[in-house]
Amino acid sequence: MHLPILSILIFFPLLGIGLLLFLDRKNHKVLKGAALGVALVEFIFSLPLWFNFDSGTAAMQFVERHEWIPTYGISYYIGVDGFSLLLIMLTTFLTPLCVLATWTDIQTRVKEFMICLLALMSGMIGVFVSLDLFLFYVFWEVMLIPMYLLIGVWGNPARRVYAAIKFFLFTMFGSVLMLVAILVLYFHYGQTTGVYTFDLQKMYGLNIPFHMQYWMFLAFGLAFAIKVPMFPFHTWLPDAHTEAPTVGSVILAAVLLKMGTYGFLRFNMPLFPQAAHYFVPLFSILALIGIVYGALVSMMQKDLKRLIAFSSVSHLGFVMLGLFTFTVAGIQGGIIQMINHGLSTGALFLVVGMIYERRHTRMIAEFGGLATAMPIFATIFMIVTLSSIAVPGTNGFVGEFLILLGAFKSNMLYGTIAATGVIFSACYMLWMFQRVVWGEITNEKNRDLKDLSLREIAIFAPLILFIFWIGVYPGTFLNKTKATTDNFVAMMEKAKATQVTQSQVFKGEAQ
């Protein structure tokens, strides 16, 4: 008996939307409860994915395939491997927590909010499981709309529209170029093999002339680099994060950014392996700039959310650096770091959201001495901060360590520069933490702040569990990605060599 688990995961939230449409818009508790129920059931549905996943093979699992537009070679083709499994689990794991986090935060237009959240969930899972380029593109674009609405409708009144449009246009800019590249790839595949298809797996083995790989890599790369976001395409991120409602920031940081890094792993590198090798210096250097620049800019932020947003640029730089080492350690580290960033940055945004709810400000200068007023909050905040800094014993350490291992193996210099990023991250996080939590209470308004409620603790408990689990015993998670990564590294290894010059590329001579 094979249940189509992935299809259920994609379409169940849509069913949930159908349910929400019939509920009374005035009764917020019921709406939130229903959304929570849907998200929890979705999480339960995703559990078999985890337990039945065969970590011994690099092949796609839970595959479903149906013809969609047969004359065009488009099919509804979905599956999971080690790269996507963890990200899907992260998505289904975080969404119920996000719904819980809206309990007191979102008070207006709750129904629409929940509808957007569930639509977003469906779109995110769709992106991670698509194995057909057309299908992937559809999910990739569809998912923009609910996120755009989340930022634009429930965001910070002052600049939410600006941030929402900026988010939309930036992402769209990259993806329309990717669409052209997809089409070029499609017709190239059709002309060389005689079969017209958008099937990703079939395209993996295709021999593409280097000058085509070059441009297509850049077109795909731009779409994903904007999403990651890599320096210098990161400028939408601080705005989107700062203006979005708490839950929007959490989803944005935890899952949406990962679509960029995931896109590199799933599409850019395996489709255009020679070009990927060719571009290692460029992308590694951009990643390094991101690491250092993100950290330095974070340090000077006055707004907590902006600080965390820039720290994302830094952390995602680590992930990109790891992926572009093409070593097992680097890539496994990169994947685990994607999850870590999702957990710890998601948690940080929740933390900020909770004090924002109490104080209606996010300025660091407004706080100080919160440890006295809110001891539980301070403890949780500290754990999350340490995880973000990558202290040994927490999840961040495992990811960054593996990435640095891979980086040193492939290029000493890259590794050295990246290692400074670790130090910088300690600087800005600890300094922020010190100013917000330690010391005397400098602002009287902070004296009577209520500590976390049970609900809020319940949101953090699972996050903290996984922060330590990955930190202490990462094997559980690394095992799942091992086979896929080995296969991927071997594939990339084969494509090495070929020295080409720019002029060959522009003349279209490079093979």
Interaction site with other proteins (CB under 8 A)? 68-72, 109, 134, 137-138, 141-142, 144-145, 148-149, 152-153, 160-161, 164-165, 168-169, 172-173, 176-177, 179-180, 183-184, 186-187
DSSP result, 186-251: HHHHHHHHS----BHHHHHT----HHHHHHHHHHHHHHHHHHTTPTTS-THHHHHHHHS-HHHHHH
Alpha-carbon torsion (218, 223, 224, 230), positive or negative: positive
Q: How far is the CB of 79 from other proteins (least distance, A)?
A: 21
Is the CB of 94 or the CB of 116 nearer to other proteins? 116
Q: How far is the CB of 189 from other proteins (least distance, A)?
A: 12
Is the CB of 8 or the CB of 138 nearer to other proteins? 138
Q: How far is the CB of 163 from other proteins (least distance, A)?
A: 11
Is the CB of 112 or the CB of 400 nearer to other proteins? 112
Residue with tokens 């007191």: 104
For the chain, the straight-line distance linking the first and the last C-alpha, in angstroms and rounded, comes to 47
Q: How far is the CB of 230 from other proteins (least distance, A)?
A: 20
394 phi, psi to nearest 5 deg: -105, 170
Q: How far is the CB of 101 from other proteins (least distance, A)?
A: 22
Task: Round to whole Å and give the CA distance between 170 and 165.
Answer: 8
Is the CB of 76 or the CB of 469 nearer to other proteins? 76
Is the CB of 168 or the CB of 381 nearer to other proteins? 168
DSSP result, 240-266: HHHHS-HHHHHHIIIIIHHHHHHHIII
Contact assessment for residue 60 and residue 48, using Cβ atoms and an 8 Å cutoff: no
Contact assessment for residue 312 and residue 237, using Cβ atoms and an 8 Å cutoff: yes
Is the CB of 153 or the CB of 495 nearer to other proteins? 153
252 Cβ contact partners less than 8 Å away, ≥ 6 residues apart: 147, 240, 241, 244
Q: How far is the CB of 428 from other proteins (least distance, A)?
A: 33
Is the CB of 134 or the CB of 428 nearer to other proteins? 134
Q: How far is the CB of 159 from other proteins (least distance, A)?
A: 11
Is the CB of 249 or the CB of 484 nearer to other proteins? 249
Residue with tokens 């720290």: 311
Q: How far is the CB of 187 from other proteins (least distance, A)?
A: 5
Q: What is the 3-state secondary structure (H, E, C) of 413-477?
A: HHHHHHHHHHHHHHHHHHHHHHHHCCCCCCCHHHCCCCCCCHHHHHHHHHHHHHHHHHHHCCHHH
Is the CB of 169 or the CB of 461 nearer to other proteins? 169
Q: How far is the CB of 276 from other proteins (least distance, A)?
A: 22
Length of the chain: 511
Is the CB of 180 or the CB of 423 nearer to other proteins? 180
Q: How far is the CB of 109 from other proteins (least distance, A)?
A: 7
Task: Round to whole Å and give the CA distance between 379 and 460.
Answer: 11
Is the CB of 176 or the CB of 391 nearer to other proteins? 176
Q: What is the 3-state secondary structure (H, E, C) of 306-324?
A: HHHHHHHHHHHHHHHHHHC
- For 56, the 3-state DSSP assignment is coil
Measured CA distances, 299 to 27, 391, 421, 423 (Å): 43, 18, 12, 12
Angle between helices 144-154 and 160-193 in degrees, nearest 10 = 170
Q: How far is the CB of 140 from other proteins (least distance, A)?
A: 9
DSSP 304: H
Type of residue found at 233: F
Measured CA distances, 316 to 95, 231, 263, 485 (Å): 21, 10, 13, 19
Q: How far is the CB of 232 from other proteins (least distance, A)?
A: 19
Is the CB of 148 or the CB of 356 nearer to other proteins? 148
Report the Cα 8 to chain-centroid distance in Å. Answer: 22
